Amino acid sequence: MQTDELILTEAFCNYYKIDYSFIADLQRVGLIEITSVERATYIPESELQKLEQLVRLHYDLDINLEGIDAIAHLLEKVKHLQNEVIGLKNRLKLYEDF
């Protein structure tokens, strides 16, 4: 069974010097998932990389929540298309080699 480490949201906010409301907003629009255990909230380790990226978009590039939401969807699409291109290139190479 795969285990998922949990990171205390407060610790994350302190480390990146960001406001908790930003994390709450991201959760509200469905961009990240937060786990609650008793009274504390935690970020699953699997969400960390994505969350760090969203933090950079907001704090480094001044992109608001709506913009981040749109970018996150477009990045998903880019990733999907890049994988499709790799698969198609490999298929094409197969026929070119024959």
Partner 1 sequence: MEYVDYYKILGLAKDSSDEDVKKAFRKLARKYHPDLNPNDKGAHKKFQELNEANEVLSDPEKRKKYDKYGKDWQHAEEFEKARQSQGRRQYSTGGNPYAGAGGQGDEDFSDFFSSMFGRSEGRRGGGQAKFRGQDYNAELHLTLQDAYATHQKTMAVNGKNIRITIPAGVEDGQVIKLKGHGGEGINGGPNGDLYITFVIAPHPTLKRLGNDLHTTVDIDLYTAVLGGEIMLETLSGKIKLKVNAETQNGTKIRLKGKGFPVYKSDGEFGDLYVTYSIKIPVNLTEKQKELFRELSES
Binding site for partner 1 (CB under 8 A): 49, 52-53, 56-57, 60-63, 71, 75, 78-79, 82, 86-87, 89-91, 93-94, 97-98
Residue closer to partner 1, measured from CB, 28 or 91: 91
Residue closer to partner 1, measured from CB, 27 or 53: 53
State both tokens at 68: 């981040």
Minimum CB distance to partner 1, residue 55 (Å): 10
Minimum CB distance to partner 1, residue 69 (Å): 14
Residue closer to partner 1, measured from CB, 40 or 74: 74
Minimum CB distance to partner 1, residue 39 (Å): 29
First to last CA, the chain: 43
Rounded Cα distance between 34 and 41, Å, is 7
Residue closer to partner 1, measured from CB, 40 or 79: 79
Rounded Cα distance between 37 and 46, Å, is 17
7 three-state secondary structure: strand
State both tokens at 67: 């913009």
Rounded Cα distance between 34 and 24, Å, is 9
